[in-house]
Amino acid sequence: MNITFWFLLIGFLLVAVFVPRVGLLATYKTYRIARDREQVEDALKHLLDREQQGRHASPESLAGTLDIQRGEVMRLIENMEMQNLLESRGSELHLTTEGERWALHVVRAHRLWERYLTDEARMPLEKIHSEAHRREHTMTEAQLNELDAALGHPMRDPHGDPIPTREGTLLKAEGMPLTAWQAEGPMRIVHLEDEPALAFEQILAAGLRLGQTIRILDRNPQRYLLTDGETEYRLAPAVAANVSVAALPESETAKASAIPLAELKHDQRGEIVILDDAVQGFTRRRFLDLGLTPGTVIYPELKNFFGDPRAYRVRGTLIALRKDQAAQIWVKPV
């Protein structure tokens, strides 16, 4: 009896440890592969970020970003050199062509996931970074292309950072820190830096948001006083430096001579001028699929007793839009 029990126990342990795909060794091997890939991809993102800033990464900067010891970072660099992902030139680390391609893939995955989590999952901005980081390391090129198309090919993530295209093109980040802005008049928020997290939380707590038009009322070594015409915002200079601004875009000029589609009178025709920047994700993709593009003529048709949704005629087709959706489509009455 005892011998049989021990044989069964040993057999069970051997199965649990060595069976392919489900055993402990297989599970541990899968975990190590995923962990090593994540570390390599985080290193690639660091190198790409440094190069975009006009600087170059070093073993020290890489160790600090990944929070690993120098011995481990040297093994990582050696491994990445063997994969032709980077080159060491003295104390400087440079991406190879293949390393840059892979780095852009990871950045694209991260920023598309942030777009999805914000627009479709309605996740709070302060939580999307960590969740996107968890998901970015598992995406294939085909899966990214599908996600990109489903979201309507967004150009920027919820923080204002440009999203690389499927061809590997990455636009230059626009704007300058609010603390460097010297021009008079209004400006537009084009980027909200999410690191360090504490500063980002203070920006969100103040109520500032991407795309908002603001102006500076007062500045001194202790605070920046801002307004959007209705509300005043106060930020410490160190926090204000994490808000990037730029001159008002052409879309704001276009809106000046347009009205929201929701305000168009019954049977009054309007020519679409622009889709609001707030239209992102699946909603933007649906608008584009319906033919709601600049230059298209659209007009309300078939009155609804309740007023919402409202029927519109566009390109010979009748579509229904809710009032909040129509308010994000700017038209010029014709």
Q: Higher-confidence residue: 248 or 111?
A: 111
The answer to whether position 126 is within a domain reads no
Residue 183, domain CATH: 2.30.30.90
- Both tokens assigned to 100: 């840059």
d(CA 136, CA 122): 18
Domain boundary among 247, 276, 309: 247
Q: Are residues 257 and 329 in the same domain?
A: yes
Q: Phi and psi at residue 310, in whole multiples of 5°? A: -120, 145
Quick one: tokens of 285? 């993709």
pLDDT in tens, 116-172: 999 888 899 889 999 999 999 988 999 999 999 988 888 899 999 999 999 989 888
Phi-psi region of 175 (alpha: psi -120 to 50; beta: other; left: phi over 0): left
* 3-state secondary structure (DSSP) of residue 190: strand
pLDDT score recorded for residue 135: 92
The pLDDT mean for the chain works out to: 87
Same-domain pairing of 233 and 262 = no
Q: Among residues 69, 95, 121, which one ends one of the domains?
A: 95
CATH assignment of the domain containing 39: 1.10.10.10
Four-residue CA torsion sign, 318, 319, 322, 328: negative
Q: How many CB atoms lie within 10 A of CB 175?
A: 18
Residue 27: per-residue pLDDT: 62
Q: Which domain-ending residue is among 95, 116, 144?
A: 95
Specify whether the CB–CB gap between 107 and 44 falls below 8 A: no
Confidence tier at 265 by pLDDT (50, 70, 90): confident
331: confidence class by pLDDT, cuts 50, 70, 90: very high
Both structure tokens of 320: 């229904």
Residue 26 pLDDT > 60, yes or no? Answer: no
What residues pair up with 189 in beta bridges, in sequence order?
245
Residue 116 lies in a domain: no
Cα atoms in the 13 Å half-sphere on the side-chain side of 5? 2
Task: Please tell me the predicted confidence (pLDDT) of residue 230.
Answer: 87
The tens digit of pLDDT for each residue in 292-305 reads 999 999 999 877 66
**3-state SS assignment for residue 124:** coil
CA dist 171 and 175 (Å) reads: 12
DSSP 3-state assignment of 223?
Answer: strand
Q: What is the pLDDT of residues 165-215, one digit of tens each?
A: 999 898 888 889 999 998 888 899 999 998 888 999 999 999 999 888 899
134 within some domain: no
pLDDT band at 253 (very low <50, low <70, confident <90, very high): low
The reported pLDDT for the residue numbered 284 is 83
pLDDT value at position 231?
A: 93
What pLDDT score was predicted for residue 148? Answer: 92
In a domain, 239, yes or no: yes
pLDDT of 29 above 70: no
Report the relative pairing of strands 329-333 and 270-275 from DSSP bridges.
antiparallel
For 105, 261, 325, the CA distances from 276, given in Å and listed in that order, are: 28, 11, 10
- Determine contact, residues 228/157, Cβ cutoff 8 Å: no
Query: pLDDT tens, 302-318?
Result: 776 666 788 999 998 99
Gyration radius of the chain over CA positions:
26
Number of domains composing the chain: 3
User: Does residue 281 lie in a domain region?
Assistant: yes
Clarify whether residues 241 and 296 are in a common domain: no
Q: Hey, how many other C-beta atoms are within 10 angstroms of the C-beta on 211?
A: 15
Do 28 and 88 lie in a common domain? yes
Instruction: Please give the structure tokens belonging to residue 252.
Output: 């704001």
pLDDT tier for residue 280 given thresholds of 50, 70 and 90: confident
pLDDT band at 7 (very low <50, low <70, confident <90, very high): low
Ramachandran category for residue 84: left, alpha or beta (phi over 0 → left; psi -120 to 50 → alpha): left
Claim to verify: residue 227 and residue 259 sit in the same structural domain: no
In this structure, the answer to whether residues 260 and 315 fall within a common structural domain is yes
Amino acid type, 245: V
User: How far apart (Å, rounded) are the C-alpha atoms in residues 102 and 86?
Assistant: 11
Q: At what angle do helices 281-289 and 97-119 cross, to 10 degrees?
A: 90
Residue at 165 is within a domain: no
Q: Mapping DSSP to helix (H, G, I), strand (E, B) and coil, where does residue 173 land?
A: coil
Q: What is the pLDDT of residues 80-98, one digit of tens each?
A: 999 999 999 988 999 999 9
Structural domain that includes position 306: 253-333
Residue 114 has pLDDT above 80, yes or no: yes
Say which residue, 13 or 266, is predicted with more confidence: 266
The pLDDT assigned to 277 comes to 76
Q: Do the domain assignments include residue 262?
A: yes
pLDDT score recorded for residue 2: 62
Do residue 225 and residue 287 come from a single domain? no
Q: Is residue 25 part of a domain?
A: yes
Scanning the chain, the segments in alpha helix (DSSP H) are 2-18, 24-52, 59-66, 70-82, 97-119, 125-135, 141-150, 197-206, 237-240, 250-256, 281-289, 323-326
The pLDDT of residue 267: 76
CA neighbor of 176 nearest in space, from 184, 164, 188: 188
